Amino acid sequence: MPATSRCWRLSKRPRPKRRTSTMNDVILRLLRAARGGGVRISTAEMLDAFEAVEAVGYDDRQVLRDSLTLTLAKTIEERASFEVIFDTYFRREALAGGATPTAEESHQNAADMEGIESKLAQRLMQDDQAGVAAMMEAAGEAVGASNIRLFTQTNLFARRMLDRMGLPELEREITNLRELGREEIAARLEAARKALGDQARSFMERQLTLFAAGATKELRENVLRNVKLSQLDRRDYQRMRGLVRDMALRIASRYSRPKKVDIRGHLDIRRTLRRNMAHEAIPFRTVWKRKKLEKPKILAICDVSGSVAQVARFLLMFLYALTDTLAGIKSYAFSSKLIEVSHILEGEDIDEAITKILNDVGFGSTNYGRALEIFSDTALRHVDRHTTVIILGDGRGNRNPPRTDLMKNLFDRAARVIWLNPEPNPLWGTGDSDIYKYMPYCHLVTSCNTVASLERVVDDILRSAQ
Q: Is residue 417 one of the residues assigned to a domain?
A: yes
Picking from 72, 75, 87, the residue whose alpha carbon sits closest to that of residue 35 is 72
CB atoms within 10 A of CB 138: 13
Q: Are residues 315 and 351 in the same domain?
A: yes
pLDDT bracket for residue 414 (50, 70, 90): very high
Tell me the HSE value of 302 on the side-chain side, using a 13 A CA sphere.
31
pLDDT bracket for residue 102 (50, 70, 90): low
Q: Is residue 237 one of the residues assigned to a domain?
A: no
Q: What pLDDT was estimated at residue 89?
A: 81
In this structure, which amino acid lies at residue 11?
S
Mean pLDDT, range 110-118, rounded to an integer? 73
- At residue 155's C-alpha, the angle toward residues 153 and 158, to 5°, is 105
CB within 8 Å of 136: residues ≥ 6 apart: 161, 165, 199, 200, 203
- Single out the residue in 56, 90, 124 at which a domain terminates: 90
pLDDT at 96 over 50: no
pLDDT at 15 over 50: no
Q: What pLDDT was estimated at residue 11?
A: 38
| Residue 355 DSSP label | H
Continuous segment of H or E residues that includes residue 332 = strand 327-334
Q: Is residue 452 one of the residues assigned to a domain?
A: yes
Residue 33 is part of which domain span? 12-90
Q: Are residues 388 and 443 in the same domain?
A: yes
Q: Are residues 313 and 443 in the same domain?
A: yes
Q: Is residue 54 one of the residues assigned to a domain?
A: yes
Question: How far is residue 262's CA from residue 260's CA, in Å, rounded to a whole number?
Answer: 7
Q: What pLDDT was estimated at residue 1?
A: 42
Q: What pLDDT was estimated at residue 411?
A: 96
- High-pLDDT (> 90) share of the chain, %: 24
Q: What pLDDT was estimated at residue 290?
A: 63
pLDDT bracket for residue 112 (50, 70, 90): low
Question: Higher pLDDT residue, 13 or 31?
Answer: 31
In this structure, which amino acid lies at residue 89?
Y
What Rg do the C-alpha atoms of the chain give, in angstroms? 33
pLDDT at 64 over 80: yes
Continuous segment of H or E residues that includes residue 417 = strand 416-421
pLDDT bracket for residue 99 (50, 70, 90): very low
Q: Are residues 455 and 310 in the same domain?
A: yes
In this structure, which amino acid lies at residue 265?
G
pLDDT at 419 over 90: yes
- Contact by Cβ (8 Å): 293, 261: yes
Q: Are residues 334 and 414 in the same domain?
A: yes
Question: How far is residue 290's CA from residue 264's CA, in Å, rounded to a whole number?
Answer: 9
Q: Are residues 309 and 439 in the same domain?
A: yes
pLDDT digits (tens, 9 = 90+) for 428-458: 999 899 999 999 999 999 988 888 888 888 8
Q: Is residue 243 one of the residues assigned to a domain?
A: no
pLDDT digits (tens, 9 = 90+) for 169-215: 999 989 998 988 889 888 999 999 999 999 999 888 888 877 766 65
Q: Are residues 190 and 309 in the same domain?
A: no
- Contact by Cβ (8 Å): 204, 158: yes
- Single out the residue in 292, 312, 336 at which a domain terminates: 292
Tell me the HSE value of 221 on the side-chain side, using a 13 A CA sphere.
14
Q: Is residue 437 one of the residues assigned to a domain?
A: yes
Q: Are residues 414 and 335 in the same domain?
A: yes
Q: How deeply is 308 buried, as exposed, middle or buried, from its count of CB atoms within 10 A (0-12, 13-18, 19+)?
A: buried
Q: Indicate the pTM of the whole model.
A: 0.55
> What's the Cα-to-Cα distance from 278 to each of 267, 283, 284, 285, 360, rounded to whole Å?
19, 10, 10, 11, 66
Q: How high is the mean pLDDT of the chain?
A: 79
| Largest distance between two CA atoms of the chain | 105
Question: How far is residue 27's CA from residue 50's CA, in Å, rounded to a whole number?
Answer: 8
Q: Domain containing 348 — which CATH number? A: 3.40.50.410
Q: Are residues 274 and 310 in the same domain?
A: no
DSSP string covering 235-286: GGHHHHHHHHHHHHHHHHHHH---SEEEEEEEE-HHHHHHHTGGGTT--SS-
pLDDT at 16 over 50: no
Question: Higher pLDDT residue, 226 or 144?
Answer: 144
Q: Could you tell me the sign of the dihedral formed by the alpha carbons of 134, 138, 143, 147, in that order?
A: positive
pLDDT digits (tens, 9 = 90+) for 279-325: 666 666 676 666 555 566 889 999 988 768 778 888 888 877 776 66
In this structure, which amino acid lies at residue 226?
N
Number of domains in the chain: 4
Question: Higher pLDDT residue, 258 or 130?
Answer: 130
- Contact by Cβ (8 Å): 57, 17: yes
Q: Is residue 365 one of the residues assigned to a domain?
A: yes
pLDDT at 95 over 60: no
pLDDT at 2 over 60: no
Continuous segment of H or E residues that includes residue 340 = strand 338-340
- Contact by Cβ (8 Å): 96, 191: yes
Q: Are residues 82 and 168 in the same domain?
A: no
Question: Higher pLDDT residue, 109 or 233?
Answer: 233
- At residue 347's C-alpha, the angle toward residues 257 and 243, to 5°, is 55
Q: Are residues 137 and 119 in the same domain?
A: yes
Q: Are residues 321 and 440 in the same domain?
A: yes
Q: Is residue 5 one of the residues assigned to a domain?
A: no
